[in-house]
Amino acid sequence: MARTRLISMFSSALFFVLVSVTPLAAIANDDNRPTLVFLLAGQSNMDGRGDGSKLTELDRNRLEAACGRVFLAYNGASPEPLDVTTPLGHVARRFELELVFGPELFFGIQVAEAFPDREILLIKRSLGGTSLYGAWSPNWSEERASLMNEADRPKLFSELVADIQRMLGDDPASDYELGGMLWVQGETDSNVKKFGNEPSETYGENLTRLIVAVREAVDSSNLPFHMLQVGNKAVVDGMKETAERLDSVYFISQSRDPNSSRYLPKYGPPIGHYNYEGMKRIGNLFADSVLQAEIR
């Protein structure tokens, strides 16, 4: 995995980060290591609908041990210690939730346990109902965004790059090391009935553009990219093909077997989305993927 030295630079509208290479496993127990940074991005299942009130005593103890070293910068806000959060009003009403969490919670806990002497920063940009074809496209166009009813929604790739600049741009280069990017998105592009075939059938090439653009934005040609299987057939096929074709791209599959650790429980219809147990497993699967990538 790339050991990333982050140095602020400006080229056109993009922020760039300089990178060198060292396995994370080789540096996990050394003193005075730079802060380990992960990028998280996607739509509502990255945003998170896990019921934060259901954390067990063990969950809380693990979180308490981690939160002094793990910080979350969410949608441009300043970093805060890792924790459950208060949902937006429409989320609270629809899911009847007072507290929520996304993949970052148990991902951050597990990574903190794996690297007990590291500070960890999670930079997360997420927005429900958004598409890779439109809002997340590095090659954003009004025509493509309009097809997805997103012409008036944020240009999310640009906002993610701006988040990186805002969080890291004013600090010394030795303070940061980029560990990878986590991606949960694909449901909107899978909606053929609403948006037609093109967004789903071109998902693989659009995903490749996103990965390449993120890697260019941080000047790391092998930035690890970890994605969860979501969406329908053409989108999932595009994910698999991209993971097979590109180096350091990892596809995290789901299982329909309720006895499998890759089975991800959801709220019942009509609301869907991953519940407490499903979201906890997603965070753990991402952490497993990041940690196992070191020995592949």
Question: What is the distance between the alpha carbons of residues 119 and 107, in angstroms, rounded to a whole number?
Answer: 14
Task: Specify the pTM.
Answer: 0.88
Q: What confidence score (pLDDT) does residue 174 get?
A: 56
Give the pLDDT of residue 168: 83
- Per the structure block, which two tokens stand in for 109? 């806990």
Long-range CB contact pairs, 202-207, < 8 A, 24+: 202/133, 202/238, 203/132, 203/133, 203/231, 203/234, 203/235, 203/238, 203/239, 204/237, 204/238, 204/239, 204/241, 204/242, 205/238, 206/132, 206/133, 206/137, 206/238, 207/132, 207/238, 207/239, 207/242
At CA 13, angle to CA 7 and CA 15, rounded to 5? 15
Banded model confidence at residue 125, pLDDT cuts 50, 70, 90: very high
Of 172 and 159, which is predicted with more confidence?
159
Residue 219 belongs to domain with CATH number? 3.40.50.1110
Which residue range forms the structural domain that includes residue 16? 2-295
- Tens digit of pLDDT for each residue in 71-93? 999 999 999 999 999 998 999 99
Q: How many separate domains does the chain show? A: 1
